[in-house]
Structure 1
């Protein structure tokens, strides 16, 4: 693995050392990688096109801020490579990739994905349960993508490292250009951490939830 460029073998599970990275290191490297959801009707493969980093006890935007350990956040303190899934507003699930060593709560929120094929899109539209006129309406946002992929709390805590399981990650083609970073969304409560440019997305991709005029090109090292 090239820790700067995020070069992974296409179609192969992401290497174990990737999950030892901090969330801020892992979030841009997850861009372009493939999220696979196994369903009774077949596997759905989609490319990750937007992420947000939530890392460490110092991040006021994180559920684990200040070292907060609850039944919900305990997964964040565990070994990297598992799924952290929670419910917001009582109706929308959010999928996170836990990273970092045991005891250091790090997680990357998956905000948007793009289906790889027409067959993948067809299944996602069926599971989405509503008419999605634009790509962003299908899977542009954490709640939307979870509905389109039938992801809920039954997958919470499952490993993302095992192909053939309910949910896993594998390498995708390298991203040549267009990766930007911007402030995270809807976290005004995070005070000075709300302005941190810890959201990453592919500029111009129609599945991205929100384009930000403040976005800047990612140069290989995430701004703090």
Structure 2
């Protein structure tokens, strides 16, 4: 496993699809009351700003979406269906309102439940609305780099649950590690 230090802000300050690809195989780390939970990121979805009709930012700048318009490297956490939290990482330069949704983790350390699907991922990692706007360069919730020596094959598919977004629903902006059994949906 790669060293458990946070990737720098510059990691997020790049093209969203590039960040999405580079997140695959990286590690989500969360210190929950002294218990360090670690999961290998195996599935993500890219959201490409205000023109992407599947992105929350397509509705413009609101109190809820303002974190998306801010600097890269911060967490955007929201509640869906009134029961599930979803964790996104803000990407690209300030004002672009882009992000990557973390969809599934392979358990590495102190994860005792399934983490396949964004809601299950947040539950397994102890992430909720308190983590919205969290700086991912912190030492308690962050992403550590993947092991560059580990080979990987990335699969691209349409995103899940965004049929309302017209042509954006068919774009291959969901990425996962081929053959990984922890991916939420093939």
Deviation by residue 1:62-116 (Cα, 9 ceiling, x = unmatched): 01115x1111100000000000000000000000000111111011000001111
Any gaps of 5 or more consecutive residues in structure 2? Answer: none
RMSD (Å), alpha carbons:
1.4
- Say whether 1:111 aligns with 2:103: yes
2:168 — aligned with what?
Answer: 193
Q: Distance in 2 between matches of 1:51 and 1:190?
A: 18
- Say whether 1:171 aligns with 2:145: yes
Number of residue pairs matched by the alignment: 184
Task: Check whether the contact 2:75–2:90 (CA below 8 A) recurs between aligned residues.
Answer: yes
- Say whether 1:30 aligns with 2:30: no
Task: Check whether the contact 2:88–2:99 (CA below 8 A) recurs between aligned residues.
Answer: yes
TM-score calculated relative to the size of structure 1: 0.78
* Structure with max Cα Rg: 1
Q: Distance in 2 between matches of 1:24 and 1:171?
A: 16
Deviation by residue 1:120-140 (Cα, 9 ceiling, x = unmatched): 23xx33xxxxxxxxxxxx010
SS at match of 1:139: coil
SS at match of 2:56: coil
Alignment match of 2:58 (pick from 65, 74, 86):
65
2:48 — aligned with what?
Answer: 55
1:18 — aligned with what?
Answer: 11
Q: Distance in 2 between matches of 1:60 and 1:24?
A: 16
Alignment match of 1:93 (pick from 85, 98, 110):
85
- Say whether 1:77 aligns with 2:51: no
Any gaps of 5 or more consecutive residues in structure 1? Answer: 1-8, 126-137, 212-224
Q: CA deviation at 1:60?
A: 0.8
Larger mean CA deviation between 25-34 and 174-183 belongs to 174-183
Q: CA deviation at 1:41?
A: 4.4
TM-score calculated relative to the size of structure 2: 0.94
Larger mean CA deviation between 49-58 and 17-26 belongs to 17-26
Spell out the pairing of 1:119-198 with structure 2 (5 A cutoff): 120-121=110-111, 124-125=112-113, 138-163=114-139, 165=140, 167-174=141-148, 175-198=150-173
Please identify which structure carries the higher strand content. 2
SS at match of 2:86: strand
Task: Check whether the contact 2:23–2:146 (CA below 8 A) recurs between aligned residues.
Answer: no
Q: CA deviation at 1:142?
A: 0.1
2:33 — aligned with what?
Answer: 40
Task: Check whether the contact 2:78–2:85 (CA below 8 A) recurs between aligned residues.
Answer: yes
